[in-house]
Amino acid sequence: MSRVGIYGGTFDPIHNGHLRVITELISRDIVDEIILIPAGDPQLRSNPPVASGLYRLAMCEIALADLPDQIGRAVEVSSIEIERIGPTYTIDTVTSIQKAMPQAQLLLIVGSDAYANFAKWHRMEELTKLVEIIVINRPHHPGGATLDIGALDVSATEIRSGESQLVPPSVAQYIKENGLYASQ
């Protein structure tokens, strides 16, 4: 049975911290593959993503090209949530993936910061019956962490404020070329 990690987030933009999670989970043989899913209309964020879904999707695809081949081949970027009309709920995404991959063991990858709000997630009890949850310990967001991978202390907010060295060079170039964040 293939172990498929579902790694969702706003990825506004995807950064080196996200890529570290991907690399560690695959390198440590915790998952066989990862589906990277930029959020459509995330319900628990106080502000909507700055970049459009299509830009965030493109940045995810660009970032994967910077990973070593053995890692990059194990990651797929999905537009499932960006294409969904209306609110984006993880339970709906997981149910769709489960239908498409009925033989896979699904593992939901979340940072300890997101997991702190897990009780507020839509149909959370049902979700826990469908997936194993891997909580990644993030610096400055302790609690509930089940896996310490030496996560990088990176935040997308910092990047949007001009810290372009926190993203792969190809993503920094894409941000600049498309004028995605005012300070870039």
Q: Which domains does the chain have, with CATH numbers?
A: 3-123+140-178 (3.40.50.620)
Confidence class of residue 44 from pLDDT cuts 50, 70 and 90? low
Three-class DSSP category at 120:
helix
Q: Please tell me whether the overall predicted TM-score, pTM, comes out greater than 0.85 for this model.
A: yes
Single-letter amino acid code for the residue at 130: L
Separation between Cα atoms, residue 99 and residue 10, nearest integer Å? 24
Confidence class of residue 184 from pLDDT cuts 50, 70 and 90? very low
| 87 compared with 104, residue with greater pLDDT | 104
> Residue range 76-95: average pLDDT?
94
Separation between Cα atoms, residue 75 and residue 107, nearest integer Å? 14
How confident is the model at residue 142, as a pLDDT? 62
Assess whether pLDDT exceeds 90 at residue 113: no
13: preceding bond cis by omega (within 30 degrees):
yes
Would you state the structure tokens that stand for residue 72, as one six-digit string?
């990059």
> Residue range 67-88: average pLDDT?
94
pLDDT digits (tens, 9 = 90+) for 135-165: 998 876 666 557 888 888 888 888 888 777 8
